[in-house]
Structure 1
Amino acid sequence: MRIAEVYRNKRLAGRLTEDDQRNYTFVYDDEYFADTNAPAISLTLPKTSKTYTSDILFPFFFNMLSEGVNKKLQSRTLRIDEKDHFGLLMATAGTDTIGAITIKKVAE
């Protein structure tokens, strides 16, 4: 199982998890959810106390990944399989992202 924290403007917004069968969950952090001024991280992931589940990486997070030549270069440089979308997300979306969302790997 791999876990990543999802930040919006450097504030913990929730947790994204990939289990061993490549099923994904996203849940908002309790404190973030309770803050009525804190917006949802995405239109496709509205703020709710429920846990979102998917058998593919949620499109919102998948769209944060590089494509084409950049993806190939990142995969080779980081030694991560191009098909390991969760691994690439944790390795590349921690600092220099477009927008307010960053992803940080939770130490195992």
Structure 2
Amino acid sequence: MSGTKVDLDTLRAAIKEYEAIYLELDKAHDTGGALTAVQPAGLDMPSKVYNNWAVTAGAAHQKSNEQLRNTLKTRIENLKATLTQYEETEQGNKDNLKPRD
């Protein structure tokens, strides 16, 4: 058995921070949808080229944001599961140490 100690308050704080970051990324994803819907200023070639570049860049940013959100969501879920496991173990240990009548 290892001597690893988990500070549950630090774990809870980390989860809150990750959730706040996730919400910011979610907002950015919602507003970033406009980046993928850029329309050309005109029918001339430079406008079409700029439009293609803008839409491609916007789509790349949206994809990157989505990948990061998915990774972060998985991390949050894993940390919450770890926290729950430690809390249940800690409560079980306390219950086992209570004097029996």
TM-score > 0.5, shorter chain as reference: no
Q: Which of the pair is proportionally richer in strand?
A: 1
The TM-score with structure 1 as length reference comes to 0.21
Greater Rg, structure 1 or structure 2? 2
